[in-house]
Amino acid sequence: MRGGAVFFDLDKTLIEGSSAIHVGRAAYRRGLLTRGQLARDLWANVRFRLSGSTDEQSSVLRERVLDSIAGHRVIDLARLGPEVLAGILPHLYPETLTAAYEHQDAGRPAYLVTAASQELADVLARVLIFDAGIGTRSESRDGVYTGRADGPFVYGEGKAVAIREVAEREGVDLSASYAYSDSASDLPMLRLVGHPVAVNPDAALEKVARTEGWQIMRFEKLGRRLRIAGAAAAVGVLGGGGGYAFARLKPRHAWRHRVGLG
């Protein structure tokens, strides 16, 4: 064991709101989503951010995402990265980022842990100067997604599974480690480490944190919460954001023709 590490959730922990909104916007601008699909996904995302998601919904989501990217080139989806980053970076919470750097200065490697793709997790980790990203991996062959998973869906219990894999591989002492999240869905990750921290917690997580004496960081303002709810009003006007990554991609053959791949 080389000592502890620190693990950060992404949405509403490192950034305000959901990263999936920015993925959806980028996909829409590239012609991968219609305005109607974008609007429906934005509303689904608003509901998710306000009330959370069940394990059953997450399982369905995983299958939708895997099916929707099957047959698409890895490089073409990766090229959405710069536009996605341009949307995400202005919404970083400086308080959480400062905490990450303080942990690194104390000798703990910092990991970004997200249900988003491993590719996005890697890019964000490099930009934020984290030590590594832990995301959901999708199988690819010859540079094309197969539509099959290549590891756990990094949500709920899947986050804990993915973190254990990294800890075993890197020799991380989880009892000396920290984890930061906003949601009760991340209780498996938070309970995995010796030092869990609740960041702008939802009601269920705050209750657990207070009962168990965990550290609580709260800096999310009412205006930020209202902007999340108010985003629904912008659906028809601004083209909003896509709630669930690539789960609403157009049929692959139409998309391949549009970008000149087939």
Q: Give the active site residues.
A: 9, 11
Measured distance CA(27)–CA(23) in Å, rounded: 6
Q: What string of DSSP letters covers 220-246?
A: --HHHHHHHHHGGGGHHHH----TTTT
Question: Amino acid identity of 119?
Answer: E
Using alpha carbons only, give the angle 120, 246, 31 rounded to the nearest 5 degrees: 105
**How far from chain centre, in Å, is Cα 179?**
15
* C-alpha radius of gyration, the chain, whole number: 18
Q: For residues 52 and 12, is the Cβ–Cβ distance under 8 A?
A: no
Q: For residues 7 and 109, is the Cβ–Cβ distance under 8 A?
A: no
Measured distance CA(117)–CA(160) in Å, rounded: 16
Q: For residues 65 and 246, is the Cβ–Cβ distance under 8 A?
A: yes
DSSP assigned state of 127 = H
Question: Amino acid identity of 162?
Answer: A
Measured distance CA(130)–CA(113) in Å, rounded: 11
